[in-house]
Copies of this chain bind each other. A is one copy, B any other.
């Protein structure tokens, strides 16, 4: 019993033991400071997350390119080691809409799905061939009439072993889009021709926005299946 009585002061309730133990009061201040610190930390984290989303290097890419492009040498895009050795007469070291477009195409590391009405631009053909050599899986869907015009690069792609299908169901297969690695969409008014790149007023959107990319992936798949030479009959759904 004596022991019980002696113990009483040390088991005093919370409200009471502040009064008598100033050391513990500083503990409660520590609790408050720590609590405030954690709240401040959570707000800081929130701010950092926002800043990261706003300015992070990996932010969703959205870019618009307008044409006609300035005409400049693009050799360094195909052979980076030759950036200082090219002796052609075109301006060097100039970033243009066309060089941006080439870079985006060349960024593909696993797949390129291309759906284009007219394809006669030799630099763009060279980019596709370079990807093919790198082992990128390439599928090309094009218009049946324009595939056969003079200067078309479709035959070159086929000869290189790239799988090409021609649309047979519509008046024109008028798309001009490409999806790289199932994540990056290139789409706009620009056909893959020299005139489009160097002479016309044209635009291209480059985006990683999933809400925009995913429908194009789905559409490409639909068109690819519909235009399988083994089964040329598809519904329009």
Question: Interface of A with B (CB < 8 Å)?
Answer: 2-3, 6-7, 10-11, 14, 17, 21-24, 26-28, 30-31, 34-35, 38-39, 41-42, 45-46, 49, 62-64, 66, 68, 70, 117, 167, 169-177, 187-190, 195-196, 199-203, 205, 207, 209, 211-212, 215-216, 219, 223, 236
Contacts and interface: CB of A to CB of B under 8 A. Distances in A.
Given A23-B17, A31-B27, A42-B41, A187 B205 contact: yes
18 contacts: A3-B10, A7-B10, A10-B10, A11-B22, A34-B38, A35-B35, A38-B42, A41-B42, A62-B209, A66-B215, A171-B199, A172-B195, A173-B200, A175-B189, A175-B203, A187-B189, A189-B189, A205-B205
Copies of this chain, count: 2
Nearest to A174: B200
A195 B171 contact: yes
10 shortest interchain CB distances as A-B pairs = A42-B42, A62-B211, A64-B215, A171-B199, A38-B38, A172-B200, A174-B200, A173-B201, A3-B6, A170-B201
A224 B187 CA distance: 23
Residue with the highest number of chain B CB atoms closer than 10 Å, among A23, A31, A187: A23
A14 B27 CA distance: 10
Given A6-B6, A66-B215, A200-B173, A23 B22 contact: no
A192 to B, nearest CB: 12
A188 B207 CA distance: 13
A58 B49 CA distance: 20
A22 B190 CA distance: 77
A200 B171 contact: yes
Contacts of A203: 175, 177, 187, 216, 219
Contact of A187 (B21, B63, B188): B188
A196 B164 CA distance: 23
A171 B68 CA distance: 10
A10 B38 contact: no
